[in-house]
Amino acid sequence: MSQFRPIHGFHAILAKLRHAPDSIREIYLDAGRADARARDLIRRAEVAGVRLLPVDAARLAAMAPGASHQGVVAHVDAATPYVTLDDVLDTLEEPPLLLVLDGIQDPHNLGACLRVADAVGAHAVIAPKDRAVGLTQTAIKVASGAAETVPYIAVTNLARTLRELKERDICVIGTDAAATQDLYTAEWPVATAWVLGAEADGMRRLTRENCDQLVSIPLLGSVASLNVSVAAGVCLYEARRRRS
């Protein structure tokens, strides 16, 4: 099984069925699920010619230990790339919650951000292909399994991607210590993409210019800034809290 990696959750597996069905070895679905979402997955797997196996909850738990797998796990070719951003967005059944990382250089920080994104239920992590660390083995290890469950989308032009998100009515919110509004007083719509900059330099100019709004995270002590993964957790959990 070493040539395959597990992914779980409906939006990740549906996106893989749309984008790269040949990369899926098989899908395991909770035998107790007969709802519309499960029926749609079964139909799409049949159309794609992908084998789908009904299994019990205990087997799914063993395949994705400690994960919120939603009753579905798939084994996919470890060599295939992750899905595109459009594939993720087109399969969502709720307003998008995205994390955008502009120029993160430390693989430990990237891995920690992926772990935060998984915990809060973010739908994807977006980052530029250039001037960023990328999904290294260190980042994957630090992510503690989240690199297999949260789509990591590396884009050629981050500023263009932000404009495309706005065309989909997704509010792009950047974090900036100099912003006039803080995280807790600012208002924003449900569909959001949260942009955090690099460890030392913050967001690049074009990235900042393509944000719909900027917010700061209140710092009440003596430190001047937060680690990027901590800042990501603060912003994403506040966004998730407001949804509830």
Return binding residues for S-adenosyl-L-methionine: 197, 217, 226
Q: Which of 17, 122, 120, 13 is nearest to 72 (CA)?
A: 13
Rounded Cα distance between 111 and 143, Å, is: 4
Residue 49 CB burial class (10 angstroms; 0-12, 13-18, ≥19): exposed
- Mark the binding-site residues, compressed into ranges: 197, 217, 226
Structure tokens at 114: 């992926």
Rounded Cα distance between 20 and 77, Å, is: 10
34 CB neighbour count, 10 Å cutoff? 9
